[in-house]
Amino acid sequence: MSKTIYMDNNATTMVAPEVFEEMRPYFCELYGNPSSMHSFGGQVGQVVEEARLRVARLINAEPEEIIFTSCGTESDSTAIFSALQSKPEKRHVVISRVEHPAVKNLCENLDNLTGHKHKVTQLPVDEEGMLDMEQYRESLSDDTAVVSMMWANNETGVLFPIAEMAAIARERGILFHTDAVQAVGKIPIDVKKLAMDFLSISGHKLHAPKGTGVLYVRKGTPFAPFLIGGHQEQGRRGGTENVTSIIGLGKACVLAGHYMQKENSTVRLLRDKLEQGLLATIPNAMRNGHKTERLPNTANISFEYVEGEAILLHLDRFGICASSGSACTSGSLEPSHVLRAMGVPFTAAHGSIRFSLSVYNTEDEVDYVLEKLPPIIADLRQMSPFWEDRAKIAGGGSCGSCSCQK
């Protein structure tokens, strides 16, 4: 395997070379602690503040509204726990059925974690992955403490109407958090024009290193820290800062701003070429997720009657990296909760493949995938007992006693 064709950028991204260069001096030379009184450490503190400013600029926030965390997951937990603590009399949380586990698993375990009984509404989505706004409005009650909705779905790239949703929540006096881990750096975001209280970012999704994240907290929103310790981050997040990664994230945000146009033109065109090419050449293939209300870099395609892990391992032989929502790859025995929530039939859910591109992908790479994938699907289908019989089972695929339903 000589070359790697990396099309799994929603899982993680390459650290941009410019980002790495920016970080380099802060490992072995300028390794001081930003909290120290001496200027050796103090100078690092200034660079951290510069990084904060850079992150703030990408989403048009104020630097005081930026809290550095260890990852997107920590940002999500911090926001939701903080909201619950600041509205202790309210015990209702609204999320969607397609949230990332960082939000979904957290909310499903709130009772155990907080020792209080909570009601969690998980709003359904339609077959394109979209929410019903009327249903959203109706789900809100006087007991609702916080709404947490992902901006862009990591599996399908589908975008929720966060501007409208946040405005509705604010009208009702309800705190609003958005997990924007997949959105930041891929679509323009201006928090000044929006009404959310919290917004989560993860460094490794936008060409910064793994293990760094950000929680945006709007000025004036009540806040309770999640990690309690020293006075770092103005007492809002204890723990010595991951200085090098924060500096890297600052640079990555500058680059993301710089590449925003390219992401939404060049990358989108590449994605469209890949998606349309696969749908045109491979029969019984379909797109998962709304066609336009979607990130520019993500294509999620189901190939009926074949299983995703098998497809991925064949792609792997050619150095092509992608991911799948099949049961075998989801770490459980059931296919992805996102595809199930969208009602994708089992014939298709097990054979779903997600390609997620970045500005580093090229047209040659897309052509290579377009060349390699169709024969892989054809071979696996030759081996599938359902392929020849597909007319009989079209659309569903239920089996006698088995009732693995949504």
Partner 1 sequence: MWEYTDKVKEHFLNPRNVGEIADADGVGEVGSLSCGDALKLSFKLGEDGRIADAKFKTFGCASAIAASSALTIMLIGRTLEEALEITNEDIAQFLGGLPKEKMHCSVLGREALEAAIADYRGVALPMAEGEVVCECFGVTDIEVKRAILENDLHTVEDVTNFTKAGGGCGKCHDRLKVLIYEAREEKAPQPIPMSGPKRMTTIQKIKKIEEVLEREIRPALKKDGGDIELIDVDGNFVIVSLRGSCSSCAKSQTTLKEYVEKKLREQVLDTLVVEEGK
Ligand X SMILES: Cc1ncc(COP(=O)(O)O)c(C=O)c1O
- The residues carrying an active-site annotation are 328
DSSP three-state, residue 31: coil
101 in Cβ contact with 126 (< 8 Å):
no
CA 130: distance to chain centroid? 16
Query: In degrees rounded to 5, what are phi and psi of residue 374?
Result: -55, -45
**Residues 48-67 contacting partner 1, CB under 8 A:** none
Under the binding rule (CB under 6 A), the answer on residue 358 touching ligand X is no
> Among partner 1, ligand X, none, what binds residue 306 when CB lies within 5 to 8 Å by partner kind?
partner 1
Q: How many CA atoms lie within 13 A of 268 on its CB side?
A: 15
State which of residues 154, 347, 356, 358 lies at the interface with ligand X (CB under 6 A): 154
Q: How far is the CB of 342 from ligand X (least distance, A)?
A: 16
Q: How far is the CB of 123 from ligand X (least distance, A)?
A: 16
Under the binding rule (CB under 8 A), the answer on residue 384 touching partner 1 is yes
Nearer to partner 1, 248 or 308 (CB): 308
| Sequential DSSP letters for 150-169 | ESB-TTT-BBP-HHHHHHHH
Q: What share of the chain is helix, strand, coil (3-state, %, to 5)?
A: 45, 15, 40
> Among ligand X, partner 1, none, what binds residue 50 when CB lies within 5 to 8 Å by partner kind?
none
DSSP three-state, residue 307: coil
48: burial class by Cβ within 10 Å (0-12, 13-18, 19+)? buried
Under the binding rule (CB under 8 A), the answer on residue 368 touching partner 1 is no
> Among ligand X, partner 1, none, what binds residue 346 when CB lies within 5 to 8 Å by partner kind?
partner 1
231: burial class by Cβ within 10 Å (0-12, 13-18, 19+)? exposed
Nearer to ligand X, 44 or 256 (CB): 256
Nearer to partner 1, 251 or 340 (CB): 340
Under the binding rule (CB under 8 A), the answer on residue 344 touching partner 1 is no
Under the binding rule (CB under 8 A), the answer on residue 346 touching partner 1 is yes
CA torsion 49-247-43-56 (nearest 10°) is -10
> Among ligand X, partner 1, none, what binds residue 305 when CB lies within 5 to 8 Å by partner kind?
partner 1
Instruction: Calculate Rg over the CA atoms of the chain.
Output: 22
State which of residues 2, 234, 292, 401 lies at the interface with partner 1 (CB under 8 A): 401
**Residues 195-214 contacting ligand X, CB under 6 A:** 202, 204, 213
> Among the residues of 60-200, which ranges form H helices?
72-86, 101-108, 110-114, 133-139, 162-171
Q: How far is the CB of 69 from ligand X (least distance, A)?
A: 9
290 in Cβ contact with 306 (< 8 Å):
no
Under the binding rule (CB under 8 A), the answer on residue 326 touching partner 1 is yes
**Residues 108-137 contacting partner 1, CB under 8 A:** 111, 117
Please name the amino acid found at residue 183.
A
Nearer to ligand X, 113 or 393 (CB): 113
Under the binding rule (CB under 8 A), the answer on residue 397 touching partner 1 is yes
| Structure tokens that stand for 26 in this block | 């802060």
Applying CB under 8 A, the span of 33-41, 127-135, 281-289, 309-317 interacting with partner 1 comes to: 309-317
Question: What does the alpha-carbon distance between residue 9 and residue 295 come to, in Å, rounded to a whole number?
Answer: 12
Under the binding rule (CB under 6 A), the answer on residue 302 touching ligand X is no
Count Cβ atoms below 10 Å from residue 298 Cβ, excluding itself.
Answer: 26
Nearer to partner 1, 300 or 347 (CB): 347
> Among partner 1, ligand X, none, what binds residue 350 when CB lies within 5 to 8 Å by partner kind?
partner 1
Closest residue to ligand X using C-beta atoms:
72
First to last CA, the chain: 39
Binding residues for ligand X, rule CB under 6 A, total 13
Binding footprint of partner 1 on the chain (CB under 8 A): 111, 117, 305-310, 313-314, 317, 326-328, 332-335, 346-347, 350, 382-386, 393, 397-404
Binding footprint of ligand X on the chain (CB under 6 A): 71-73, 100, 102, 150, 154, 179, 181-182, 202, 204, 213
